[in-house]
Amino acid sequence: MPELTVRNWFGDLVSHPLVIVDAHSVADIQAVLMDPSKYPAPVRAAGSNHSTTPCAAAEGGTLIRMKMNRILNVGPDSLTVEAGATHIEMAKELERRGLQFYVNTEIGSLTAGSAACAGTKDASMPGEFGQVGSYVAGVKMVLPGGELLELTEAGQPERMRAVRSSYGTFGVVYEVTYRIRKLTPLAVHHRTYSIAEFLAALPELKALGYSLMYYFFPFEDRITVEFRKDNPAASGEPNRTAWALRNHTWGTSGPRLAHEIGRHVHSPAIRYGIIDHFNGLWRLQLERFVESDHTSPPDQIIRYPESGSDNGYTFSLFAFPEADFPAALTDFVAFCKDYYAQEGYRSDLLYVGYWIAQDPKALLSYSSGGNVMTIDPVSTGGPGWKEFLNAYNQFCVERNGLPLLNQTFGVTREIARKAFGSRLDEFAAARRHYDPQGRLLNAYFQNLLG
């Protein structure tokens, strides 16, 4: 059979499955898993394919594209959907009913199946987790032999903990149940600091009881903090402009401008001068216009196109123990400046990060051991990006950084082993239990697990 070509959302990761199957029913998934002669291994299921690692690659095997996307049931505190349902469509339906997700993740094309078994990153709201899967209360899967399995947090909490980090290597998720809550007005505002001012104020900022996300600019010594919190006392209609403006600049106009500058401005001094000016306008916009005492939480979610093009961007991330973060951020600013001086490369967008609460809900959670803060480069992925990430990975590993296996580019077995230790062995053992023949195991996870 001729190989097919599949790219991730951004377009920089390419794989070549022999077979692609669109799954419209559980029977479609079972037919694939039960016929290895027609549907060769590795069998991988994919949603929007937004990952920045080859976790869903089915090189030489079978790719299942999840087309099952119905909302099956909405209750007062739970939502059950098929695995192909996207977060933006689910969130809009919940909003119409006066309900919301706990985590209104930025990437609206995230599918329920991916959220149930893969990591995500969002700033934790006060008293809550910051990972979407931590609010997944149950799943239904097709196992590698075609059998059906249902697991719930109430009935099998440890097995659910493993599933939330399984990345589709245990079985193919076809139905997901979330915990949800009443729709509550959300307040948001931004403030800009120098990086030293931010680090000095960090204990005080955390004590204020806000969710903290931050955009930082190493070459301008600036960091803009996004403060969010529930505001149930708000009345009237929500402000629909604040998040729409943020989403357009972040998801469309900013990356498009950087793409055009990269194509047409060849002088680094002029190119990055324009980018720094744009970043200054971005900070001003965040402080003046992305501010309201009453917004609707689902408005944070961005509806991305089916694939990244001239406005696509990519990213990577490492999380650092909260106590290590001030030193890590200070060192990272120096690292970016030194790398640019030596290699002539810097990100053409910006860097972001999140404060994420301790969260043991997933076996390979990057905040299982305590609160973390992240350092996430963002780029249009031009020449020099992958080489920069190799150096960034080494920098982060040396400072006890923890990766995400679907969103940290270039994770090796050594990086995963240092980050997760014996938890990686638990993951490998659980995977073998569900899939002893390795039918769902692709080269990426083979390399990570040894």
Query: What are the pLDDT tens digits along the chain (450 aa)?
Result: 567 999 999 989 999 999 999 999 999 999 999 999 999 999 999 998 999 999 999 999 999 999 999 999 999 999 999 999 999 999 999 999 999 999 999 999 999 999 999 999 999 999 999 999 999 999 999 999 999 999 999 999 999 999 999 999 999 999 999 999 999 999 999 999 999 999 999 999 999 999 999 999 999 999 999 999 999 999 999 999 999 999 999 989 999 999 999 999 999 999 999 999 999 999 999 999 999 999 999 999 999 888 776 678 999 999 999 999 999 999 999 999 999 999 999 999 999 999 999 999 999 999 999 999 999 999 999 999 999 999 999 999 999 999 999 999 999 999 999 999 999 999 999 999 999 999 999 999 999 998
pLDDT of residue 401: 98
Q: Kindly list the distances between the CA atom of residue 220 and the CA atoms of 81, 118, 337, in Å, as whole numbers in the listed order.
A: 45, 34, 11
Count of helix runs (H) and strand runs (E) in the chain: 13, 19
Q: Kindly list the distances between the CA atom of residue 109 and the CA atoms of 105, 113, 356, in Å, as whole numbers in the listed order.
A: 10, 11, 22
**Domains of the chain by start residue, with CATH:** 6-66 (3.30.43.10), 71-183 (3.30.465.10), 186-414 (3.40.462.10)
Residue 254 structure tokens? 């900013």
Name the burial class of residue 184, with classes exposed (0-12), middle (13-18) and buried (19+) by CB atoms within 10 angstroms of its CB. middle
Q: What are phi and psi of 226, to 5 degrees?
A: -100, 120
**Which DSSP letter does residue 321 get?**
E
Angstrom distance (rounded) from CA 448 to CA 450: 6
| CA torsion, ordered 192, 330, 364, 70, to nearest 10 deg | 20
Dihedral sign computed on CA atoms, order 52, 55, 59, 61: negative
Angstrom distance (rounded) from CA 45 to CA 84: 10
H-helix or E-strand spanning residue 199: helix 195-207
pLDDT of residue 450: 84
Start-to-end C-alpha separation, the chain: 29
Q: Convert 243-290 into a string of H (helix), E (strand) and C (coil).
A: HHHHHHHHHHHHHHHHHHHHHHCCCHHHHHHHHHHHHHHHHHHHHHHC
Query: Cα 243 vs. chain centroid, distance in angstroms?
Result: 19
Query: Which stretches of 313-409 are DSSP H helices?
Result: 325-343, 385-397
Residue 439 structure tokens? 């039918």
Q: Which amino acid is at 441?
A: L
Angstrom distance (rounded) from CA 14 to CA 11: 7
Which of 127, 122, 128, 232 lies closest to 187 in space, CA to CA? 232
* Predicted structure pTM score: 0.96
Within 8 A by CB and 6+ apart from 279, the residues are: 217, 220, 222, 350
H-helix or E-strand spanning residue 377: strand 372-379
Strands 172-182 and 78-82: antiparallel
Within 8 A by CB and 6+ apart from 431, the residues are: 166, 169, 170, 441, 445, 449
Length of the chain counted residue by residue: 450
Angstrom distance (rounded) from CA 360 to CA 369: 7
Contact 148, 35 (CB under 8 A): no
